[in-house]
């Protein structure tokens, strides 16, 4: 059986990041080799390592334990060791060893690099949407934002709250804003590990601006639960679910900016 081979090289997508191309058996005999190669990674001050394992033919718990130790050191330095390209057979063996609970696995190098942007550089991601001012477009929009939040690691509860916030803000934009004017509603989303920021911009009827301004300033701190009242709780609900809510009125439009911190 050929020996393990670790080839260290910069990532094409981000040359400042390091990739290990690992081929052959990751067995107990490879521990010393992994250790030496990892020392050279540390010496070069790299704290994010992508292990490309499509060529790995065998895994042992001793070698995986060694990789876990390497990862722990990188995590302590604010980085990570992530795995890409692993075959289904090897992944099921890693799963049996509990490694899938420790390492992050990515199908492609590109997604591993995106993870670096997100996890290590703490960069935010932006999504822009524009949709016609009709209620029927709001459910798919709110559900998509909720899915984005879930996919980014926000809890189900947080994602549900975000879905509710998007729903309420967009419904208000349709109801109080653009329906008559037939101008699209813009939704800008900025999401990072700590928070999601939503901005909803809609055209408003100039005749309604003063009434809307008065409505927003008289907004109750908590929603009104009176039995007979069917509407009028949306803004107060947004306020309760979010951490910051700003409403700005200009001559021809309204913009609502909501910040929701991520719960751990």
Partner 1 sequence: MESQIELEYEDIKGHADTKMVRFVGDLDATNVETVLEKICNLFNDGFINIIADFKKLRYVNSTGLGILLHFSKSAKEKNGSFKIANVNENVYEIIEIIGATTLLEIYDEVDEAIAALK
Stretch that binds partner 1, among 19-27, 60-68, 96-104, 227-235 (CB under 8 A): 227-235
Residue 227 touching partner 1 (CB under 8 A): yes
Among 47, 164, 242, 254, binds partner 1 (CB under 8 A): 164
The beta strand positions in the chain, using DSSP E, are: 5-10, 18-26, 48-59, 80-84, 105-106, 125-131, 185-191, 195-203, 244-249, 253-261
Residue 233 touching partner 1 (CB under 8 A): yes
Residue 138 touching partner 1 (CB under 8 A): yes
Among 23, 37, 80, 163, binds partner 1 (CB under 8 A): 163
- Letters for 87-126 (x = contact with partner 1 by CB under 8 A, - = none) are ----------------------------------------
Angle (CA) 27-29-31 rounded to 5° is 85
Stretch that binds partner 1, among 23-31, 165-173, 198-206, 251-259 (CB under 8 A): 165-173
Q: Of 121, 118, 198, which Cα lies nearest the Cα of 163?
A: 198
What is the SS3 assignment for 74?
helix
Site for partner 1 (CB under 8 A): how many residues?
Answer: 29
Instruction: Find tokens 């490694």 and name the residue.
Output: 99
Stretch that binds partner 1, among 85-93, 109-117, 204-212, 235-243 (CB under 8 A): 235-243
Q: Of 15, 103, 17, which Cα lies nearest the Cα of 56?
A: 103
Select 48 or 154, whichever has its Cβ closest to partner 1: 154
User: What is the separation of C-alpha 175 from the centre of its chain, rounded to a whole number of angstroms?
Assistant: 30
Residue 157 touching partner 1 (CB under 8 A): yes
User: How far is residue 158's CA from residue 145's CA, in Å, rounded to a whole number?
Assistant: 11
Contact 166, 145 (CB under 8 A): yes
Query: In the complex, which residues of this chain contact partner 1 (CB under 8 A)?
Result: 135-136, 138-139, 156-157, 160-161, 163-164, 167-168, 171, 222-234, 237, 240-241
């Amino acid at each position: 059986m050929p020996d393990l081979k670790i080839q260290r090289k910069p990532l094409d997508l981000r040359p400042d990041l390091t990739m290990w191309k690992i081929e052959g058996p990751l067995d107990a005999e490879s521990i010393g080799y992994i250790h030496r190669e990892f020392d050279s990674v540390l010496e070069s001050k790299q704290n994010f390592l992508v292990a490309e394992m499509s060529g790995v033919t065998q895994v042992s718990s001793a070698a995986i334990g060694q990789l876990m130790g390497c990862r722990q050191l990188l995590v302590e330095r604010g980085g990570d060791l992530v795995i890409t390209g692993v075959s289904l057979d090897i992944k099921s063996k890693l799963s049996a060893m509990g490694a899938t609970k420790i390492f992050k696995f990515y199908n492609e190098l590109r997604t591993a690099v995106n993870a670096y942007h997100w996890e290590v550089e703490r960069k935010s991601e932006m999504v822009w949407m524009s949709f016609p001012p009709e209620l029927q477009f709001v459910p798919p929009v709110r559900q998509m934002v909720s899915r984005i939040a879930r996919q980014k690691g926000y809890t189900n509860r947080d994602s549900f709250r975000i879905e509710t916030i998007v729903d309420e803000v967009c419904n208000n934009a349709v109801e109080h804003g653009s329906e008559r004017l037939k101008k699209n509603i813009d939704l800008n989303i900025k999401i990072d590990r700590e928070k999601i920021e939503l901005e909803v911009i809609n055209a408003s009827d100039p005749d309604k601006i003063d009434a809307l301004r008065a409505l927003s300033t008289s907004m109750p701190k908590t929603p009104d639960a009176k039995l007979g009242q069917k509407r009028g709780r949306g803004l107060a609900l947004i306020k309760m679910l979010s951490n910051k809510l700003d409403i700005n009125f200009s001559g021809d439009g309204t913009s609502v900016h909501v910040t929701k911190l991520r719960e751990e």
